[in-house]
Each structure stands twice: as structure tokens, then as C-alpha cells.
Amino acid sequence: MAAAKRPALPVILLANDLLDGDVVFATGPVDGLHWSRDPGAALVGGDEATAERLEAFAAAELGRQQVVDAYLVDVAVEDGVPVPRHYRERMKTTGPSIRRDLGKQAELPLAEAFTNPAFLRA
Amino acid sequence: MYRYDEFDERFVRERVAQFRDQVARRLSGSLTEDEFKPLRLKNGVYLQLHAYMLRIAVPYGTLSSRQMRQLALIGERYDRGYGHFTTRTNLQFNWPKLRDIPDILDLLADVEMHAIQTSGNCIRNVTADHFAGVARDEIEDPRPTAELIRQWSSLHPEFDYLPRKFKIAVTGAAHDRAVIKAHDIGLRILRHPQTGDIGYEVIVGGGLGRTPMIGKVVRDFLPKADLLAYLEAIMRVYNLEGRRDNKYKARVKILVHEIGTEEFSRRVEEEFARLDGPSVNADPAEVARIAAYFAAPSYETLPAGDHGFETAKAASPAFARWVETNVTDHRQPGYAALTISLKPIGAPPGDATSEQMRVVADLADAYSLSEIRVTHAQNLVLPHVKLSDLFAVWQRLGEAELATANAGLITDIIACPGLDYCALATARSIPIAQAIARRFADPVRQKEIGVLNIKISGCINACGHHHVGHIGILGLEKRGIESYQITLGGDATENAAIGEILGPGLAAEDVPDAIERIVGVYLAQREADESFIETTRRIGLAPFKAAFQGASRQDSSEVSHAVA
């Protein structure tokens, strides 16, 4: 990923798991990044150095064939959790808005910032 | 129905084995995503927003009860208990795991199904009139032609890497129910006005997407026997001269548009003359073998009417209403074709649960000679039901929430999956369809409005056919929010037309009000039995534009709730 295309800070890194396509988020300390299925656990890159580490992790993991379609997403931190600024990525983070019984919104105890009714319309 | 022969069976099984190996190599890391992607797409596997998606071909929309049960089983065992029927009459599963897909493909092969060529720059699933073999206005069943094209185009080595995807539809009837003028190639079976011979009108260069075009007639009458050679000539001209430098200009419609219909036609005829027709055209014995699979089933000899059916209609207004909208005349006396609406008010258009699929399969076995059709309008059809059985079928459908009486009405909305599932979408489609359906749910009002096709796409690729909707809705992104552009006057039939934009894009919550205003203009201006599209053609866009400009944000709380 070229630096010029990097979205505005702060950012998180998301991808789809190779095996089941589920959306995964880079989490953990900067020097021990790994994947979590919980968007609330995503590591927020609030500075250039962290964003670069997330980019480097994305490239390495794509190379290791663990994930597909890894990219940085700009977020707003709300109630301590990183909420994507764009509605497309918010949809990707929770699951279909028309089937609340499917996707992460049904499988995980998501933070309220992801599930309040205004979430997709912000 | 067509049954696989030894060759078909081996071909599909080999393909599953190849893909199993490709998936294994992908999972072991020996294939990169860049290497794997074209392979998975050739087998109908996409990566969408939340998961992989598997698109399964339903050739010319014909399914047996056995196949439907297998789809139900796959939905339950490997997905989330439901599937989505598309405008290409395919079925999509939204949540398969990559490692399971080879097993799913094996289960499909068990019932003579596959997902080959449901994606990629190749000739896609061939569609046909969903009332094929049944319709009273039919000259000849289009399915033998569609099956012949399916066999010819499957893994055709010359047309495996076209400039872009390629879609073919066939109708054998006077009234076009297969949207043939919005296809790369549309074929209309017709009789030669002088000789009475059966042949094809060949239409090329239709298509929706970012540059919508109505197809042009390149051959008024093509003798039936010359079909494959002529198609091959069209494909060669396109393959050679279609643009590969810009994917947005790569469809055959752009080529036809750029060089003109006459010149395109001339080049096709030149190529056709050069081709060794007999070596390309199907052997008449093979054509006859295929056609035999679609011979009319063994109907009972019945009177044209049925006393019990008439009594049931008189006794049950709800049944009578359903018959009026969802039952179609059959060429065989005493029979009808019935449309099973997959548009219950407020539900995602085209979705069916595994349980509903089994109900449909059981009903097909009991009442419709085990046959089912999928329509491009995302509904199902039981094509051969006796009038005397209609009431029983309706009751059973009702228990499964499959008896919504709205076929062809304002709540029978086509909607692509949109941003709720699709990685390409720019806005959601399904919640808009749900909000409009809820607004117009009243059956009396729906009947008063009459035939009105609303079609919604969640991006410019137009899977929801919005350009040819009487009212079309296109979801876009505008400054970080979803915005909906309304078009009016589109038509998907033999009178095909591209809708025109009414005005600036609307917020999601304003769409039902805008539809309300458009319908209001129609109801105020219609004459006698005029349908919505007829009134639109007569009075033009101006009165609708005027009403549309007045669209306000008031009274939208109901929709805000629905869309939130």
C-alpha cells in the first residue's frame, strides 16, 4: 500500500479471513499484531508510525496467505471503540442491516457504538 | 427437463475435482489470491463484504423439485438456512466457507447443477421466459435453444476470455418476459412471415450497467439450423473488436454503438459467410435429442374451467385476489401457471429459506409435475397446476408465507442485494424495497394502482435492472451518505425503454414519499384502464417532474425507522 493512498488518521486495519471470509481486525500491541473477529478490539493507529506498522502487517499477512483484501479504514473513536467513518465499512464491521440475526452483530457482544440505530446513518 | 448425459456428468465432476485441488492449493498457500481469484470466479465464488458468496446457475430458470431440495439442504448444512434468487435466475448463498465450497459443488453435481460461468468474462447463465412451454402466446419453447447455447458456450475455448461478461436471453413468445432487449444477445423465436418457418430475430448490444442501451436487431430472420454458426460469428466479431483497454467500454453494446448497427451487422454477416456452418451448427439429431427433454409433459385431459375452483374464488376474496395477480393462463385446458411471490411485504426481495424451498419442492411434486421455474423478477413459478388444485396449493403456500398476492404490482419489487451484502455496492437496496413495500402494503391500494414495476440497484452495475423499471431507483454515494436517483418510464418488455432521471438524488427516508407522489400523478391523470407505463408514455415526464420537485422530508418517520 502506497503511503499516498493512506486514509486520514486514526485508522484500523481490517481484512477477510481466507478460510471463511469473515471480517477480521488487526489487534494487539504494535510489536505483536494478530487478528481478532471483534471490531471493538481493533488496534487504533492514531499516528503515522502505528499506521505504518499496520500497513506492514497487512503486507506480511497477505504474503502468508492468511487473509484477503486487507486495507486501512479511517475511524472515529466513540466510547472507546473505533467506528469506521464510512457507512460501507460500518456495514462490513457489523453485518447486514436487514438481518440483525446474522454476522458479527449476532455473534459477538458488540460495543453499543456499533449497534445503536444511528450507526449506519451517521 | 434436460438430463445430463455421460459427457455432461463427467465434465461437471471433473470441474469440481479441479476446483477442490485449487482450493486446497489456495489454503496451503501455494496459490496467491491473485492467482486464485480468476479460478474461483470461474466457479461462481465471490468475496463479498461479510463472507464468500457462491452463485449457482439455474439454466433458463428451470429447476426440478429434487434440485430445489438439494439447494435447501446446502442452505442448511453450509449456509445460514436461506438463499437469494437473482435477476439472472441464479441462486446465491451469502455465507459459505471457502473450504466447504468443493463439497457444496459435489452436492450440486449430484443433482446436475453447477456454478460454472456464473462469473467472469465469459458467456453467463442463459435465461429464458419463465413461462416457457406454458404460455399461450408462445410460438415455440425457448428452452431447447437456451440449452443448446448452454452446451455450446460451456468452456468454449475461443470465448473463455472475452473482453467482458456476456449475457444471452431467449424468448419464444410474442410478449417478452425475458428482457431480451437488455441483453448482449437477445433471441426471439418467430415465424417467417412468408414461409411460416421458425427462426430467430437476433438482437445484439442491449445492456444495463453504467451505459444502458436497448439492443438492436442485427438479423430479422435467422433460420433455426444456423443458430450456433451465427452466434459464433457475433462472438468472433466481438472478441476481436470489443475493447479491452477500458472495462467500462468493453461490453458488446459499446462496440455496436460505436461502429453502428449496420456496420456491426455487416461484419457479423461477413464472418458468418466465412465460417464453415455445418461444422459449427449443432447436429440436427442432437438438437432433436435436446428438444425431446422439453416435450410437453403428460397432462390430463380436463375441461377449460373447474367448478370447485370457481366456488373457492367466490367463497374466499383473498384467494380470488391471489388468483387475479399470481395465476397465469396455461396453454393446456384445465391447468394454470402460478407465481410464488418471494416478496412478502417487508422481506428482502428474492430470499427463500430452506424450509420454504422444501415447501415449494413438495408442492411441485404433488401438483406441478415436479417442475419449478425461477423468474428474473426474483419469484418462483409452479408451471403446471390443475385449476382444481389451486386452492389447496394457495393454502399450503400461505402457511409458508409464500402466498403474497402481488405479482407484477407495486410491492413486487426487484432489488439487488445492495450494500447489505455486496462488496461493489454504493448504497443499500433492500431497505428501500422494504420501506416502499410497507408503504404500499394495502392490497386494495395495490390493486387500484395495478401493474407497476419498481426495480432497485445498489450501484451503477444495475443488477437490479433499475434502468428498465417503470420506476427505477439507483443507490449511490453522495458526500458520504446514501443517495437515491429515481428514473421513470423504463420498460423491460418488447417495448423496451430506458428510464429517464426525474431529478436530484434523494435521501433514503425520502424515497417512499417520492414514489407516493409519482403514483399520485398517475392516478390523477390515467384514462380508463391505462396502466402506469401507458400513462407515463402518454403524458411524458413533465407532470411527474413537477410533483417530484415538491418531494419533502415531511412524514418520513415511518421510513426513517424502517431504514435505520
Residue B429 burial (C-beta neighbours within 10 Å; 0-12, 13-18, 19+): buried
Structure confidence at residue B551 (pLDDT): 56
Write out chain B residues lying below 8 Å of A85, CB-based.
480
User: Do the beta carbons of residue B307 and residue B342 sit within 8 Å?
Assistant: no
User: Do the beta carbons of residue B97 and residue A17 sit within 8 Å?
Assistant: no
pLDDT-derived band at A120 (thresholds 50, 70, 90) equals low
pLDDT-derived band at A116 (thresholds 50, 70, 90) equals low
Chain A interface mutation, best of B22, B30, B49, highest count of A Cβ atoms under 10 Å: B49
Other beta carbons within 10 Å of B495 = 12
Structure confidence at residue A113 (pLDDT): 81
Higher-pLDDT residue of A3, B75: B75
Q: Which residue has the cell 452466434?
A: B231
Structure confidence at residue B548 (pLDDT): 87
Q: How remote is the C-alpha of B110 from its chain's centroid? A: 25
- DSSP-derived letter for residue B420 is G
Peptide bond into A29 cis (omega under 30): no
pLDDT-derived band at B560 (thresholds 50, 70, 90) equals very low
pLDDT at position B219 over 80: yes
The whole-angstrom separation of Cα B189 and Cα B533 is 26
Chain B interface mutation, best of A98, A115, A119, highest count of B Cβ atoms under 10 Å: A98
Q: What is the pLDDT of residues B112-138, one digit of tens each?
A: 999 999 999 999 999 999 999 999 999
The whole-angstrom separation of Cα B546 and Cα B525 is 14
The whole-angstrom separation of Cα B68 and Cα B357 is 6
Q: What is the pLDDT of residues A76-110, one digit of tens each?
A: 999 899 999 999 999 999 999 999 999 999 999 88
Q: Which residues contact B290 (CB under 8 A, 6 or more apart)?
A: B2, B144, B147, B148, B151
Q: A21 touching B, CB under 8 A? A: yes
Chain A interface mutation, best of B26, B351, B420, B478, highest count of A Cβ atoms under 10 Å: B420
Q: What is the mean pLDDT of residues A23-31?
A: 96
Higher-pLDDT residue of B2, B181: B181
Q: B348 touching A, CB under 8 A? A: yes
Q: B6 touching A, CB under 8 A? A: no
Q: What is the pLDDT of residues B151-198, one digit of tens each?
A: 999 989 999 999 999 999 999 999 999 999 999 999 999 999 999 999
Q: What is the mean pLDDT of residues A11-32?
A: 96
The DSSP H or E segment spanning B381 is: strand B380-386
User: Do the beta carbons of residue B484 and residue B473 sit within 8 Å?
Assistant: yes
pLDDT at position A47 over 80: yes
Structure confidence at residue A111 (pLDDT): 84
Q: How far is CA B213 from CA B128, B257, B259, B416, B498, in A?
A: 20, 9, 14, 20, 7
Q: B563 touching A, CB under 8 A? A: yes
CATH number given to B307-399? 3.90.480.20
Q: What is the mean pLDDT of residues B344-357?
A: 98
Among partner residues A97, A102, A118, which is closest to B431 by beta-carbon distance? A97
The whole-angstrom separation of Cα B474 and Cα B459 is 6
Q: B481 touching A, CB under 8 A? A: yes
C-alpha cell at B17: 475435482
pLDDT at position B553 over 50: no
Structure confidence at residue B563 (pLDDT): 42
Q: What is the pLDDT of residues B406-461, one digit of tens each?
A: 999 999 999 999 999 999 999 999 999 999 999 999 999 999 999 999 999 999 99
Structure confidence at residue B387 (pLDDT): 98
Contact B50 A97 (CB under 8 A): no
pLDDT at position B489 over 70: yes
Q: What is the pLDDT of residues B91-102, one digit of tens each?
A: 999 999 999 999
pLDDT-derived band at B559 (thresholds 50, 70, 90) equals very low
User: Do the beta carbons of residue A50 and residue A30 sit within 8 Å?
Assistant: yes
Contact B50 A20 (CB under 8 A): no
Give me the residues of A, 44-103, that contact B with CB < 8 A.
Answer: 62, 64-65, 68-69, 85-88, 91-92, 95-99, 102-103
Q: Do the domains B134-292 and B414-563 sit in the same CATH topology, yes or no? A: yes
Q: Which residues contact A11 (CB under 8 A, 6 or more apart)?
A: A44, A45, A51, A54, A72, A73, A74, A75
CA max distance for chain B: 68
Higher-pLDDT residue of B561, B27: B27
- DSSP-derived letter for residue B368 is S
Domain layout of chain B by residue ranges: 6-60+82-110, 134-292, 307-399, 414-563
Contact A97 B428 (CB under 8 A): yes
Other beta carbons within 10 Å of B77 = 13
Fold of B414-563: Sulfite Reductase Hemoprotein; domain 1 (3.30.413)
The DSSP H or E segment spanning A75 is: strand A67-78
C-alpha cell at A95: 453485518
Chain B residue with CA closest to A17: the answer is: B51
Contact A18 B434 (CB under 8 A): no
Q: Transcribe B18-45 into DSSP letters.
A: HHHHHHHHHHHTSS-HHHHHHHHHTTTE
Structure confidence at residue A15 (pLDDT): 98
Model's pTM, two decimal places?
A: 0.95
Chain A residue with CA closest to B96: the answer is: A20
Q: Phi and psi for B354 in degrees, rounded to 5?
A: -60, -40
pLDDT at position A3 over 60: no
User: Do the beta carbons of residue B444 and residue B457 sit within 8 Å?
Assistant: no
Q: A107 touching B, CB under 8 A? A: no
The whole-angstrom separation of Cα B249 and Cα B241 is 12
Structure confidence at residue B557 (pLDDT): 39
Fold of B134-292: Sulfite Reductase Hemoprotein; domain 1 (3.30.413)
Query: CA of B483, closest CA in chain A: separation in Å?
Result: 11
Q: What is the pLDDT of residues B37-61, one digit of tens each?
A: 999 999 999 999 999 999 999 999 9
ipTM over 0.90: yes
The whole-angstrom separation of Cα B50 and Cα B421 is 7
